[in-house]
Amino acid sequence: MNCGTLTGRYSREIRAAGSTRNRIAARAVLALVLAAPGAALAQMDLAGEWRNTGQQDVRDNPHIGEIVGLPLSEESIHRAETYDQSILSFPEWQCRPHSAAYVKRDPSNLRVSRITDPANRNLIGYEMEWYRNVTVPIYMDGRSHPPETAPHSWLGFSTATWEGEKLRITTTHMKENWYRRNGPPQSDMSMLTEYVMRRQFRGRDYLTWVIIAYDDHYLTEPLIRSTEYQDALNQQMTVYPCTPVTEVVWPEGYVPHFLPGQNEHFTGFAEAYGLPPDIMYDGAQTMYPEYRLKLGDYAKSTSRTMEASSAEYARSRR
């Protein structure tokens, strides 16, 4: 064997050995990067401009007393019964933001922005911004939630992790607010577990946002709702300044409310749809299909009323 042959063979072996070492080193570096704290490995990018599709009952603009289909506790039902929406005319309430438990159900558009580490450009969270609301960060850098005694805010404190291609969000530290605009309260001890998924349908991108509320004070079971957002590339999130004004001159010291059992409007929803007048007191059982068996003849009457309402609505849209 001549020197040229030996030199060529050893040269190839050296290159191969070097290539193997490079691959091992690259894998080691990648493993360190993946294990590094503060780096949120995005399975699906959620950033963008999104409009609320307004489907299902997403607009949550209910009748007074329309609290069926919610797992409300007895305390929550009675607070809804005493609620008077005229309180929103108070200057203290006019510019009050929605809570995290409600705003995702509100007919508001959404902007999602990335939060990146300026040193290494790792994704460490998202900023969520709804129309007429403050921006809330969703932290994905492994930080823990504040202690229970920490201050609360309208949109709470949120952390998130990836579960496959779903972003799982945990939200705590929300101020007291409502689950629906007609009064069912959300306590300041409630917690949300949320799942956000980006998907495609007929050539358009959608965000499906599932919200699961846990509230030992005002819910007897978890309240599960979802909202659909569609991509809106030309969307502009305009500034919404809010200045309190005197809308109604109330007597000094008066707070709009109804005393228990004295809200004559509370049964209006049941009367309009031919339902039992006490249906709003049945709480979680109204969420399930078998509740129709309890309604008996009322269920048939309700179906006819709903069909007539749907037909009237269809005619009005022609």
Its pTM stands at 0.79
Residue 140: its pLDDT value, please?
Answer: 95
Q: Which of 24-38, 162-176, 184-198, 283-297 has the lowest mean pLDDT?
A: 24-38
Say what the pLDDT of residue 133 is.
Answer: 65
Question: Which of 169, 247, 246 minimizes the C-alpha distance to 213?
Answer: 169
Q: Give long-range contacts, CB 8 A cutoff, 24+ apart: 9-15.
A: none
**For 78-100, what is each residue's pLDDT tens digit?**
999 999 989 999 998 888 888 89
Question: Above 80 in pLDDT, residue 314?
Answer: no
The answer, yes or no, to whether residue 137 has pLDDT greater than 90, is: yes
With 0-12 / 13-18 / 19 or more C-beta atoms within 10 angstroms meaning exposed / middle / buried, residue 221 is: middle
Beta pairing, strands 157-163 & 135-139: parallel
Cα–Cα dist 102/110, whole Å: 14
289/193: higher pLDDT: 193
- φ/ψ of 174, rounded to 5, equals -95, 140
Percent residues over pLDDT 90 in the chain: 51
- pLDDT exceeds 60 at position 2: no
Q: Is 125 left (phi over 0), alpha (psi -120 to 50) or beta?
A: left
Which of 28-37, 219-228, 234-243, 277-286 has the weakest average pLDDT? 28-37
Parse the chain into domains and list their residue ranges: 1-35, 48-231, 268-316
Q: Which helix (H) or strand (E) holds 50?
A: strand 48-52
Asked if pLDDT for residue 38 goes beyond 70, the answer is no
| Predicted confidence band of residue 56 (pLDDT cuts 50, 70, 90) | low
Quote the mean pLDDT of the chain: 82
Question: Is the pLDDT confidence value at 304 over 90?
Answer: no
> What number is the average pLDDT over the span 184-206?
95
CA 123 – CA 212 distance, rounded (Å): 25
Tens-digit pLDDT profile for residues 220-258: 999 999 999 999 999 888 777 888 999 999 999 999 999
Q: What pLDDT band is residue 294 in, cutting at 50, 70 and 90? A: confident
> Confidence class of residue 149 from pLDDT cuts 50, 70 and 90?
very high
Predicted confidence band of residue 123 (pLDDT cuts 50, 70, 90) = very high
- pLDDT of amino acid 29: 38
Q: How far apart are CA 206 and CA 196, in angstroms?
A: 10
Q: What is the mean pLDDT of residues 274-284?
A: 90
Give 301 or 122, the one with higher predicted confidence.
Answer: 122
Torsion angle, alpha carbons of 261, 266, 267, 270, to 10: -140
Which has the minimum average pLDDT: 7-21, 167-181, 219-233? 7-21
pLDDT (0 to 100) of residue 272: 85
Least confident window among 6-10, 123-127, 248-252, 282-286: 6-10
Q: What share of the chain is helix, strand, coil (3-state, %, to 5)?
A: 30, 25, 45
* Cβ contact 117:72 at 8 Å: no
153 pLDDT exceeds 80?
A: yes
